[in-house]
Amino acid sequence: MLDLLIRGGDVVTPQGVGRWDIAIEGERIVALGVPEHALEAGRVIDATGKIVVPGGVEPHTHLAHFISMQPEENLHTLGPEEDTRGMVFGGTTTHVDFCFVRPGTDVQQVIETRAARWKGNSYADYSFHVALQGQLPLKVFDQIPEAIQAGFPSFKVFTVEVLPPHPKRHPYRLDFGRIQLAMEKVVPHGGLMVVHAEDQDIVQFMYEKFREEKQTDGWLLPLVHNKLSERAAGYPIYAETLHHYTCFTAEDYKTPRGFCYHTYPSLKYPEDQAALWNGLVRDGISTTATDEFPTSLELKLRGQDLENVTGGNLGAEARMGIVYSEGVVKRRMSLERFADVTSTNAARILGLYPRKGVLAPGSDADIAIIDPAIKKTLAREDFHVSDYSPWEGWAIQGWPVTTILRGRIVVENRRLVGDRRDGQLVARKISPEVLRRPAC
């Protein structure tokens, strides 16, 4: 007998959308389709009238992360035990955070430290990008192939110091020589570079210029982290955007809670937003992420000046619901495309596919069920992380209601039934196709 059967929903797969049953045994999907005779299962979920999609893959979070905008205080973002609770409420079943290799550390050590921090503390499955930062000794780069082999094939680099230098700020930027060295080690072993690609000279020059002009207001951020500073390097390139960038603009900085929408690079302008939607709905942008950096509202709004506005977002919980409501309902994004930009593409690019990111026999039974009939203005009680959400007051149509992680129901009809020991570390391996040419 099956363990779990999801019946009657509109199921979104790479082959199309259909009213199919999903049969689950243990942690895996074992069959998907129209059964010839009635199936029996220990548990049946009636998904009539609902949309059934692959559990979300959130490719970009910074949980339990040092807050460098307030360098004098030793502050950190909320940890996985709080933030991933919101993720599963919002239909996301896997996230990829970061471990930071800085001078004085090594790759394996930082992976082990982060993995130990997450173990038993995550409601969703997880992995880590390896971030390479600062004047790293060259021998550190020799550890890259081993990390790829161990299931950590993505390497984050910054081409920019996001903030001006400060003695208590960790370095972010990796110089182009070291980026070249990293690429030489990453490419032949089947890894991938993840690049925050702003121009160091332009961004630091603009900080200096505004400091000299005694202009310090935080809303000037789009002139510091400006359009000219953003560029890309390498090939093939996969683009990520954030649902925040698609919904808020630089004008929002001037509203009372305006900096709660900020992340680096800055919010931009309506024409940029239109381009992002075009890329998400049609083609050109592969995935949505959050750049999750969860803090209290007080901390998020504490800095009001160019050099201390808190970056990052709180929105991993809202990501799938917002992209559904703004993309599928308002902008006619297809359901297949919705699954691509919230789950499948991130899973493919980061080497989680086909275990994650797709509803198919053999895949993990990671499933989000969306109720398209929910129509409401989001309020504080719709969220389960920290003490605010940038999305309070936002009108939506359609929202995730039930989430299944490896066959286990973790959220049922907006009620949490999972716990923080459910999440597991997932080893990743990137398909050569993804590395050879743009595959999604």
| Shortest reach from residue 30's CB to Zn ion, in Å | 37
* Secondary structure class of 163 (helix, strand, coil): coil
| Shortest reach from residue 72's CB to Zn ion, in Å | 22
Instruction: Name the residue nearer to Zn ion (CB basis): 21 or 97.
Output: 97
Instruction: Name the residue nearer to Zn ion (CB basis): 161 or 291.
Output: 291
What residues between 100 and 119 interact with Zn ion by CB under 5 A?
none
In angstroms, the CA 362 to CA 148 distance is 24
| Shortest reach from residue 56's CB to Zn ion, in Å | 17
Which of the stretches 37-45, 230-238, 287-295, 348-356 binds Zn ion when contact is defined by CB under 5 A? 287-295
* Secondary structure class of 192 (helix, strand, coil): strand
- The tokens of 109 are what? 């050590």
| Shortest reach from residue 263's CB to Zn ion, in Å | 7
Instruction: Name the residue nearer to Zn ion (CB basis): 11 or 195.
Output: 195
Which of the stretches 24-32, 44-52, 72-80, 285-293 binds Zn ion when contact is defined by CB under 5 A? 285-293
Cα–Cα distance list, 270 to 188, 248, 274 (Å): 40, 9, 6
Closest Cα partner for 422 from 126, 128, 151? 126
| Shortest reach from residue 5's CB to Zn ion, in Å | 39
Closest Cα partner for 174 from 154, 192, 195? 195
Instruction: Name the residue nearer to Zn ion (CB basis): 313 or 403.
Output: 313
In angstroms, the CA 146 to CA 144 distance is 5
Closest Cα partner for 305 from 265, 259, 260? 259
Instruction: Name the residue nearer to Zn ion (CB basis): 130 or 370.
Output: 130
Instruction: Name the residue nearer to Zn ion (CB basis): 9 or 311.
Output: 311
Residues ≥6 apart with Cβ < 8 Å to 105: none
Number of residues that bind Zn ion (CB under 5 A): 1
CB 56 within 8 A of CB 90: yes
Helices (H), 192-233: 200-212, 221-224
| Shortest reach from residue 12's CB to Zn ion, in Å | 28
The single-letter DSSP state of residue 363 is S
For residue 391, count other CB atoms closer than 10 A to its CB.
22
Which of the stretches 80-88, 168-176, 288-296, 352-360 binds Zn ion when contact is defined by CB under 5 A? 288-296
What residues between 150 and 179 interact with Zn ion by CB under 5 A?
none
| Shortest reach from residue 410's CB to Zn ion, in Å | 25
Residue type, 225: H
Instruction: Name the residue nearer to Zn ion (CB basis): 195 or 434.
Output: 195
Instruction: Name the residue nearer to Zn ion (CB basis): 229 or 325.
Output: 229
| Shortest reach from residue 366's CB to Zn ion, in Å | 23
Residues ≥6 apart with Cβ < 8 Å to 115: 128, 425
In angstroms, the CA 117 to CA 335 distance is 36
Which of the stretches 1-9, 104-112, 136-144, 286-294 binds Zn ion when contact is defined by CB under 5 A? 286-294
Instruction: Name the residue nearer to Zn ion (CB basis): 291 or 340.
Output: 291
In angstroms, the CA 229 to CA 226 distance is 5
CA 175 to the chain's CA centroid: 25
Which of the stretches 200-208, 284-292, 360-368, 392-400 binds Zn ion when contact is defined by CB under 5 A? 284-292
Query: In the bound complex, which residue of the shown chain has the CB atom lying closest to Zn ion?
Result: 291
Q: Does residue 240 interact with Zn ion by CB under 5 A?
A: no
Which of the stretches 275-283, 290-298, 343-351, 383-391 binds Zn ion when contact is defined by CB under 5 A? 290-298
| Shortest reach from residue 162's CB to Zn ion, in Å | 9
- The tokens of 343 are what? 């789950």
Of residues 291, 326, 364, 366, which one binds Zn ion by CB under 5 A?
291
Q: φ and ψ at 212, to 5 degrees?
A: -65, -35
Instruction: Name the residue nearer to Zn ion (CB basis): 207 or 293.
Output: 293
| Shortest reach from residue 86's CB to Zn ion, in Å | 17
Cβ density class 359-371: b for 16+ within 10 Å, e for less: bbeebbbbbbbbb
Q: φ and ψ at 189, to 5 degrees?
A: -105, 10
| Shortest reach from residue 291's CB to Zn ion, in Å | 4
In angstroms, the CA 321 to CA 394 distance is 11
Instruction: Name the residue nearer to Zn ion (CB basis): 100 or 399.
Output: 100
The single-letter DSSP state of residue 55 is P
Which of the stretches 4-12, 238-246, 283-291, 347-355 binds Zn ion when contact is defined by CB under 5 A? 283-291
Q: Can you give the binding site for Zn ion, defined by CB under 5 A?
A: 291
